[in-house]
Amino acid sequence: MRLNIIVCVKSVVNNMMPGSNRSSSGNMELNPFDRPAIEMALSLTKENQGSLTVLSMGPQTATFGLYQAIAMGADRGVLICDSALKESDTYVTAKVLGTALLKLQPFDLVLFGTRSSDSDTGHVGPQTAQMLGIPFIGNIHSLAVVRDKLLALHADNPSTEAADQSDSRQAVAENMQTTNIWSVERKADGYVESFEVKGRAAFTVSSSFTVSGETGFTSLHGIETAFSEKTIEFWDNSTLGLKAEETGLIASPTKIVAWNREKRSKKCLFIDGSPEQKAQQLAQKLSEAGFVG
């Protein structure tokens, strides 16, 4: 049985010029928090001979992050790109992604990074799961699909009527295609929580997740494959059956009303006294600042 996994990714601006938010492919990159989600998806698709689609919403320049994701090993890239989507908040973004995910059916699993390195909301993963009405767990660091158990579930409940047997087998086969049991772990408050999740689900993947033995870097072979063998599909609002007024700033319930650069100041403090006094004062200052203790 193949696993169809979709990872929703974002291209973020990594080197914004002062006084400008203009983005080009030269200063955009795949959101670093999305990489663990892609790596987790790839490890699952390798084990289960599945396929991985990366889905993104953004301007034309967002192809950069998608190509990076495809170079990591994704099979297909889809970019939802429409001028009417400009300045969508996370609610509208989740609505658009949710609509696109329904169009990408069948899928078994949707993964997200925990947040983006630019806007840093962490909203889109759980909001999209809510739009789709599927179970969600955040910040997972371990994921496995359990299928033997699923077979056992069906074996425990065989059909007794011979006439129904073929229908039952077909129903089981259909169910097998769409139902998995996910064994999931996340860390919280000093504990490791273990979950079992049945059926289609959405998770955000912890930035601590790494695949052992992998370098975490994109190979030249992957990049060449991405550009010579794969193409990015462009979808717009009409592809998704969305009206312009259903997306973008106009449809967004939350609006950014001001955007001011955070003022940061560095203060250098010299500590005087004997070495013991200096150490004591240093420890006290660090404790007061919340770095120790």
Binding site for other proteins (CB under 8 A): 24-26, 29, 63-64, 67-68, 71, 215, 217-221, 223-224, 226-228
Minimum CB–partner distance for residue 213 and other proteins (Å): 10
Assigned token pair, 141: 């660091």
Whole-angstrom distance, CA of residue 234 vs CA of residue 78: 6
Minimum CB–partner distance for residue 253 and other proteins (Å): 35
Minimum CB–partner distance for residue 225 and other proteins (Å): 9
Q: At what angle do helices 220-229 and 63-72 cross, to 10 degrees?
A: 120
For residues 20 and 215, which CB has a smaller minimum distance to other proteins in the complex?
215
List the Cα angle 94/100/142 in 5-degree steps: 65
Whole-angstrom distance, CA of residue 290 vs CA of residue 186: 26
For residues 219 and 277, which CB has a smaller minimum distance to other proteins in the complex?
219
Bridge partner residues of 112 (DSSP): 8, 204
Minimum CB–partner distance for residue 79 and other proteins (Å): 13
Helix (H) or strand (E) holding 202: strand 201-205
For residues 156 and 229, which CB has a smaller minimum distance to other proteins in the complex?
229
Minimum CB–partner distance for residue 239 and other proteins (Å): 22
Whole-angstrom distance, CA of residue 67 vs CA of residue 54: 10
Q: Whats the size of the chain, residue-wise?
A: 293
Minimum CB–partner distance for residue 78 and other proteins (Å): 17
Whole-angstrom distance, CA of residue 131 vs CA of residue 96: 9
For residues 66 and 96, which CB has a smaller minimum distance to other proteins in the complex?
66
For residues 15 and 274, which CB has a smaller minimum distance to other proteins in the complex?
15
For residues 76 and 103, which CB has a smaller minimum distance to other proteins in the complex?
76
SS3 191: strand
